[in-house]
């Protein structure tokens, strides 16, 4: 069975899962003057991809591989020290769950929705969704790894009025690194939950807390 089209549907930015409201930490980075141009955006995305990106891609791959989603949800909590980011991950997980159950209904999705009514971590839900759609763990990892950089790139277009062509070129140049991270994530998932990476980005954890307290912001995170 070929599933390439299912991957396009799941990875499409128009898939109704609410991700567009999140900048992946880019909004506070722009405000702090850390992102001023396309090169800064590329550096930011590369750092995020190799830290948070690898960690969440592996969680998604592990869920797609069939590891216990509740144990993965707990592993995701342990890898997310920022309560603001835990809340975002669960909110996005809840939104994705709603879309996924309508798109690719499966008993595993229903069971996770019932066990975590307020939302499971988004990468875990995405992994189960990929599984329900007949996709491979590596597909789930690609999808999540790509989201960790496409979110900031889209946000920076709005925040800095960066040329959308330039932002897309940044993403295109990241393609080899994305493949590498997704493969690494899928490989880790084959070795069980204790082998999952926990790469973290201290500055993203700190600025997420600062950003959550801003009275006015363009993006939810």
Six token digits for residue 174: 């990241």
Could you give the string, one character per residue 154-183, with x where binding to other proteins holds by CB under 8 A and - elsewhere? -----------------------x------
Residue numbers 10-69 binding other proteins by CB under 8 A? 25, 29, 32, 34-35, 40, 43-52, 54
Residue numbers 76-105 binding other proteins by CB under 8 A? 77-84, 86
Whether 30 and 159 have beta carbons less than 8 Å apart is answered as yes
CB of 34 or CB of 101, closer to other proteins: 34
- End-to-end, the C-alpha distance of the chain in Å comes to 38
CB of 29 or CB of 133, closer to other proteins: 29
Distance of CA 23 to the CA centre of its chain: 11
120 binds other proteins (CB under 8 A): no
Whether 145 and 61 have beta carbons less than 8 Å apart is answered as no
Give the count of residues interacting with other proteins (CB under 8 A). 42
201 binds other proteins (CB under 8 A): yes
Candidate ranges 107-115, 125-133, 155-163, 200-208; the one touching other proteins (CB under 8 A): 200-208
Q: Kindly state the helix (H) or strand (E) to which residue 144 belongs, with its residue range.
A: helix 137-160
In whole angstroms, give the CA distance from residue 204 to residue 140. Answer: 23
Considering the complex, what minimum distance in angstroms separates the CB of residue 90 from other proteins?
11
Label residue 2 exposed, middle or buried (CB < 10 Å: 0-12, 13-18, 19+).
Answer: exposed
Distance of CA 133 to the CA centre of its chain: 18
In whole angstroms, give the CA distance from residue 75 to residue 124. Answer: 10
198 binds other proteins (CB under 8 A): yes
CB of 10 or CB of 178, closer to other proteins: 178
Considering the complex, what minimum distance in angstroms separates the CB of residue 215 from other proteins?
15
In whole angstroms, give the CA distance from residue 66 to residue 74. Answer: 15
Residues that bind other proteins (CB under 8 A): 25, 29, 32, 34-35, 40, 43-52, 54, 74-75, 77-84, 86, 177, 197-206, 209-210, 213
């Amino acid at each position: 069975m070929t599933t390439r089209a299912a991957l396009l549907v799941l990875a499409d930015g128009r898939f109704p899962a609410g991700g567009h409201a999140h900048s992946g930490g880019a909004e506070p980075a722009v405000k702090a003057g850390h992102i001023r141009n396309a090169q800064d955006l590329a550096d930011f995305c590369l750092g995020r991809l190799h830290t948070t990106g690898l960690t969440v891609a592996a969680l998604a791959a592990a869920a797609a591989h069939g590891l216990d989603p509740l144990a993965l949800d707990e592993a995701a909590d342990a890898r997310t020290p920022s309560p603001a980011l835990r809340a975002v991950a669960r909110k996005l997980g809840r939104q994705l769950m709603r879309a996924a159950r309508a798109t690719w209904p499966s008993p595993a999705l229903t069971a996770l929705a019932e066990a975590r009514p307020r939302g499971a971590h988004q990468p875990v839900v995405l992994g189960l969704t990929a599984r329900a759609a007949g996709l491979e763990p590596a597909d789930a990892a690609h999808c999540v790894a790509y989201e960790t950089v496409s979110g900031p790139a889209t946000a920076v277009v709005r925040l800095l009025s960066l040329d959308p062509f330039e932002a897309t070129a940044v993403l295109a140049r990241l393609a080899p690194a994305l493949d590498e991270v997704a493969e690494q994530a899928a490989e880790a998932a084959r070795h069980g939950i204790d082998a999952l990476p926990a790469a973290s980005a201290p500055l993203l954890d700190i600025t997420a807390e600062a950003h959550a307290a801003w009275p006015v912001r363009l993006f939810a995170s």
